[in-house]
Structure 1
Amino acid sequence: MARRPAAHDRIAVLGLGRFGSSLALELTRQGWEVVGVDADPRNVQALADELSHAAVADTTDEEALRQLGVHEMTTVVVGFGSAIEASILTTSLLTDLGVPHILAKAVSRPHATILRRVGAHHVVLPEHEMGERVAHLVTGQILDVIAFDGDYVHAKVCAPEAVIDRTLAGAEVRATHGVTVVAIKRPGEPFTYTTPDTTVYAGDLLIVAGASRSVRAFAGLG
């Protein structure tokens, strides 16, 4: 496994509930050195053998974070959200400590707004984002979807009948449907980038980018 530069190979995950523990374990699998911190000894004990270091500490205590070296890390995740006050105080403290990249979990849009105002560089709302993703999956022929800022998405769709046996240029996909086909996958082959001359056949999978409404409409073409 490729080794990351020493200055960037440690990440602290503060809060080891369902979200934080899942994230910490995945980061560990990817080769990161993860320092997990939680106020509940049971959560820490559950991951003690899995993480590089796990500690029981109050994340709103500056001295405790300094002792753990959190202030020296490039990236810190505030992985708890239900304790809103502690979440905000912790994020604000990390900002004061000069942590270059702070990612925080929010439980609501107002909570997310406050986290950004006190210094979080990136905020996730797992339940809300998962709800949006599932909504895409159950309302059409979309097989998977990644939502970005605003209403822009990348989606994996089955090739709709309207473009089968036609090139992307010939079907005028972008001009007619307002989406861009970024990649294509033939049965039994890996995804490859498309060109205007790419011909779409029955059974192909497409990666389509565009506004959510346009992508849904394209995926549902007969």
Structure 2
Amino acid sequence: MADRGNEPVVVLGLGRFGTALALELNRGGTEVLAIDNRPRVVQSLAGQLARVVQADSTDIEALRQLGVPEFYRAVVSIGTDLEASILATSLLVELGIEDIWAKAVSTQHGRILERVGAHHVVFPEHDMGERVAHLVSGRMLDFLEIEEDYAVIKVRPPRDLVGVPLRDTRVRSRYGVTVVSVKTDDNPFTYATAETVLGYGDLILVAGRIQDVERFAASQ
């Protein structure tokens, strides 16, 4: 199968999420066609994106004229207007887009997007709220959910992991987690090994089931 990782991307809807997405894709070298029906928004991004146009994302003829059917990947980032979000997604399916991502604002919205043909549904507000909740309520310095019940966290090592090789800490059998990387002083993160000895000021990346990494973070 050919690598489609750097394919051009269509972004429909330039609210906060869509704008941030389009700009980040552009910074990473991905060609972006950004579409929004508000002239002021389009004008504000004209100097930052090579292809940003004013058009109605729920008008299939407008999408055809802009060459949307030629794209492999598209993102529907319309959030507040649920009808427009669902219609735009269904039009992308009709146009034969092979990889459709869609932003949802609720579980019900997400289910409908999946039913009309979205291949990936994202919940940016929910995901960010969950991430911040983990950071606010515990001693984690960062939290990233990889799958429904698996996460990577950034924390300081607890006292019982400091000063001895990781193989002697029995961290996996005691907590059910794995220390995958360590950062000391001003050095970059490096892979942790069985011989790694942690210090109090180090930062570590720990992977495991969410309940296990939460328990590990609370042990400090």
Q: TM-score, normalised by structure 1?
A: 0.92
Confirm or deny: 8 A CA contact 2:7 2:73 kept in the other structure.
Answer: no
Rounded Cα–Cα distance in structure 2 between residues aligned with 1:149 and 1:71: 31
**2:79/2:104 contact within 8 Å kept:** yes
User: 1:161-190 CA deviation, whole Å, 9 max, x = no partner?
Assistant: 121112222111111101111111111211
Rounded Cα–Cα distance in structure 1 between residues aligned with 2:35 and 2:53: 5
Contact 1:161 1:221 in 2 (8 A): no
**Does the CA contact (< 8 Å) of 2:103 and 2:123 recur in 1?**
yes
How many residues matched?
A: 218
Residue 58 (structure 1) aligns with: 56
Q: Deviations over 1:145-173 (max 9, x none)?
A: 11122121111111111211122221111
Matches within 5 A, 1:99-138: 99-138=97-136
Q: State the alpha-carbon separation in 2 of the partners of residues 121 and 86 from structure 1.
A: 18
Alpha-carbon distance between aligned partners in 1 of 2:41 and 2:123, rounded to the nearest angstrom: 21
Q: Partners of 1:92 and 1:168 in 2: how far apart?
A: 52
Say whether the 8 Å CA contact 1:15–1:37 is kept in structure 2.
yes
Match of 2:168 in 1: 170
Q: Which SS does the other structure have where 2:147 is aligned?
A: coil
What is residue 145 of structure 1 aligned with on the other side? 143
Moved more, 90-99 or 173-182: 90-99
Distance 1:197 1:76 in 2: 46
1:44 aligns with 2:42: yes
Aligned-partner residue type, residue 78 of structure 1: V
Taking only the aligned residue pairs, the percentage that are identical comes to 52
Contact 2:12 2:76 in 1 (8 A): yes
Describe the superposition over 1:132-155 as per-residue Cα deviations: whole angstroms up to 9, x where unpaired. 000110111100111122121111
Counterpart of 2:88 (choices 86, 90, 104) is 90
Question: SS of the counterpart of 2:215?
Answer: helix
SS of the equivalent of 1:190 reads coil
Tell which deviates more after alignment, 197-206 or 177-186: 197-206
**Aligned residue type for 1:81:** G
Query: Does the aligned pair in 1 maintain the 2:13–2:76 contact within 8 Å?
Result: yes
Deviations 1:95-134 (A, max 9, x none): 1222121111110111111112222122111111111000
Q: Which amino acid aligns with 2:155?
A: V
Query: CA offset at residue 9 of structure 1?
Result: 4.1
Q: Which runs of 5+ in 2 are unaligned?
A: none
1:15 and 2:50 correspond:
no
Instruction: Tell me, in whole angstroms, the C-alpha distance in 2 between the residues paired with 1:8 and 1:216.
Output: 35
CA RMSD of aligned residues (A): 1.7
Change (3 A) 1:129 1:145: same
Aligned counterpart, 2:207:
209
